[in-house]
C-alpha cells in the first residue's frame, strides 16, 4: 500500500513537474522568440528609416538641382610643372594658411615634419605635391572610424576630432600625402597672433592633410549665397593659398565638371597627366609637363 501511494504520489509529482516544465519551456521559447522577433523588427525598422532618410535626401537633392539647374561642382587642381620654378612659395603659404606646426631643425624631428604641400626635387624638375583628393580614395576606405571621407564636391576631408591616430590612412595612401602629428604641435610664441582663425589647430596624435583650402571655399559659398548668384570660375581659379601665392601661376584650381572652367580645359591638354593612374585612385590633381615621364619614373636614392 505504502509503496503504491508513493508511486501514485510520484506520478502526480512528475506530472506536476512536467506541467511546470512545460510552462517554463513555453515561457522560455516565447521570450526568445519575442526577443528574436523584436530584434529583427528593429533591424527592419532601421532599414526602413534609413531608406526614408535617403529618399528625403534624394528629394532634397532633386529640389536643389531643379532650383539651380546645375550639378555639384567637382573641385580639381592643375599644376603646370613647366612653369614651376621650385621657389617653395606654395609650401610656405600652405603652412601659414592652415596653421601647420613648425618642426624646427631638431634632429629628433627628422621625418616628423608636416608639409601639406611638399615640393619634391626630381632629376629634371620640381614636383609640387598637395593631397590628390582622389575620386576613389584608398584612405577613406580603410579608416576604421570614418574620420576621413570624400564629400559631395570631391574633396577628401579629415575630421580631426574623430581621428584615433591609427595611421592606417597614411599607410594606405599610395602617394604618402597624409601627415601624422607625431608630437605636440609647436609654434614660436610671437607667431601665434597670426594664426588663421578659419582653420582649427590639430592636437598631437591625429592625421592631417591638405583640404584644398576648404575653409576658403566655404567662405566664398557664403558670400555667393548672400549675393544670390553662382560661383564664377575666375573667383576660384587662384582660391587655395598655394595657387594664390604661386608667382608663375603654375597652380590653377577650379570645377572640373564644368567644361568651361580653365581647369577642365587644361586637363584636356596633351601635356596633362595624373600620377599612377593604373592604381585606379582617380586623382583630381592634374599635372602638365612636356615630358611627363621624367617626373614620375625613378625614385630618389
Partner 1 sequence: MLSDRKDPIEFFRLMKISWLWVLFVLLSILGIAIGISGYYLQLKYGEIVTGLRTPGAGGVAWGLYVVFIIFFAGISFGGLSTSVAVRIFGISELKPITRIAEFISIISPILAVMCVLSDQGRVISALINLPRYARIASPMFGTFSMAISGYLFASLIYFFLSTRSDAYELSRKTKGIMKIIYKIWASGFKGTPEDFERHSKASFWFAIFILPMLVIASSTLGFIFGLHSGRPGWFSALQAPSFVIMAGISGIGLIIIFAYILNKIYKDSIPSEAIRTLGNILMFLTITYIYLMIVEELTSNYAAPKKDREIAHIIVFGTYAPYFWITVISLVISFLILFYQFSSGKILSGPTVISALLVNIAAFTKRFVLVVPSQTHGFFLPYPKGQYNITAVEIMVLIGIASFGLLIFLLFAKVFPLIPLETVGLAETPRTFQKKKNILRTSATLGTLLVGISLMIVGFISSARAFTKYYLDPVIPFAPVVFIIGVIVSFLSAVVYEIIPERNTQSSSSER
Q: 229 to 288, contacts with partner 1 by CB under 8 A?
A: 275-276, 279-281
Among residues 141 and 223, whose Cβ is nearest to partner 1? 141
Output 89 or 137, the one with its CB closest to partner 1: 137
Nearer CB in complex with partner 1: 158/233: 158
Nearer to partner 1, 162 or 249 (CB): 162
CA 258, 247, 104, 174 torsion-angle sign: positive
User: Applying CB under 8 A, which of residues 31, 59, 63, 248 lies at the interface with partner 1?
Assistant: 31
Helix (H) or strand (E) holding 11: helix 2-68
Question: Contact 279/136 with Cβ under 8 angstroms?
Answer: no
Instruction: Write the DSSP assignment of 16-79 as a string of letters.
Output: HHHHHHHHHHHHHHHHHHHHHHHHHHHHHHHHHHHHHHHHHHHHHHHHHHHHH--PPP-EEEEE
- Choosing from 15, 16, 46, 248, the residue that interacts with partner 1 (CB under 8 A) is 46
Decide if residue 301 touches partner 1 (CB under 8 A): yes
Nearest-approach distance from CB 29 to partner 1, in angstroms: 5
- With H, G, I as helix, E, B as strand and everything else as coil, classify residue 129: strand
Instruction: Choose, by CB under 8 A, the member of 72, 95, 167, 274 that binds partner 1.
Output: 167
Q: Give the residue, chosen from 88, 96, 165, 199, that forms a contact with partner 1 under the rule CB under 8 A.
A: 165
Report d(CA 90, CA 244) in Å as an integer: 8
Using CB under 8 A as the criterion, what x/- string covers residues 87-116 for binding partner 1?
---------------------xxxxxxx--
User: Does residue 80 contact residue 288 with C-beta atoms inside 8 Å?
Assistant: yes
Number of chain positions touching partner 1 (CB under 8 A) = 83
Q: Which residue has the cell 516544465?
A: 21
Work out whether 153 is an interface residue with partner 1 (CB under 8 A): no
- With CB under 8 A as the contact rule, which of the stretches 61-69, 179-187, 239-247, 260-268 interacts with partner 1? 179-187
Minimal distance in Å, beta carbon 53 to partner 1? 9
Q: Residue 175, interface with partner 1 (CB under 8 A)?
A: yes
Among 296, 301, 300, 294, which residue's Cα sits nearest to residue 124? 294
* String of contacts with partner 1 for each residue 180-219, x by CB under 8 A: xxxxx------------------xxxxx------------
Question: By the 8 A CB rule, do 179 and 144 touch?
Answer: no
The site map against partner 1 for 119-138 (x = CB under 8 A) is -x-xx---x-x--------x
CA–CA distance, 125 with 40 (Å, rounded to integer): 61
The angle at the Cα of 46, spanning 44 to 49, to the nearest 5 degrees, equals 110
Amino acid at each position: 500500500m505504502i509503496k503504491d501511494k508513493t508511486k501514485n504520489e510520484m506520478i502526480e509529482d512528475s506530472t506536476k513537474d512536467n506541467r511546470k516544465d512545460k510552462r517554463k519551456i513555453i515561457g522560455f521559447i516565447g521570450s526568445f522568440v519575442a526577443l528574436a522577433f523584436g530584434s529583427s523588427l528593429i533591424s527592419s525598422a532601421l532599414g526602413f528609416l534609413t531608406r526614408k532618410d535617403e529618399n528625403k535626401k534624394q528629394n532634397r537633392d532633386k529640389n536643389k538641382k531643379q532650383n539651380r539647374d546645375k550639378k555639384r561642382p567637382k573641385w580639381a587642381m592643375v599644376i603646370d610643372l613647366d612653369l614651376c620654378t621650385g621657389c617653395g612659395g606654395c609650401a610656405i603659404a600652405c603652412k601659414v594658411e592652415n596653421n601647420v606646426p613648425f618642426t624646427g631643425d631638431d634632429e629628433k624631428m627628422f621625418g616628423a615634419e608636416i608639409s601639406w604641400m611638399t615640393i619634391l626635387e626630381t632629376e629634371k624638375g620640381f614636383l609640387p605635391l598637395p593631397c590628390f583628393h582622389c575620386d576613389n580614395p584608398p584612405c577613406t576606405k580603410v579608416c576604421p572610424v570614418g574620420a576621413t571621407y570624400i564629400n559631395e564636391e570631391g574633396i577628401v576631408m579629415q575630421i580631426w576630432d574623430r581621428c584615433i591616430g591609427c595611421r592606417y590612412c597614411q599607410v594606405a595612401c599610395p602617394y604618402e600625402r597624409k601627415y601624422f602629428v607625431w608630437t605636440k604641435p609647436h609654434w614660436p610664441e610671437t607667431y601665434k597672433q597670426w594664426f588663421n582663425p578659419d582653420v582649427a589647430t590639430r592636437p598631437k596624435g591625429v592625421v592631417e592633410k591638405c583640404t584644398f583650402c576648404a575653409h576658403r571655399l566655404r567662405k566664398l559659398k557664403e558670400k555667393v549665397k548672400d549675393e544670390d548668384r553662382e560661383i564664377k570660375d575666375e573667383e576660384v581659379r587662384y582660391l587655395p593659398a598655394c595657387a594664390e601665392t604661386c608667382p608663375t601661376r603654375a597652380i590653377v584650381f577650379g570645377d572640373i565638371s564644368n567644361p568651361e572652367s580653365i581647369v577642365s580645359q587644361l586637363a584636356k591638354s596633351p601635356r596633362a597627366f595624373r600620377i599612377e593612374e593604373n592604381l585606379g585612385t582617380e586623382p583630381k590633381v592634374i599635372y602638365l609637363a612636356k615630358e611627363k615621364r621624367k617626373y614620375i619614373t625613378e625614385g630618389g636614392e
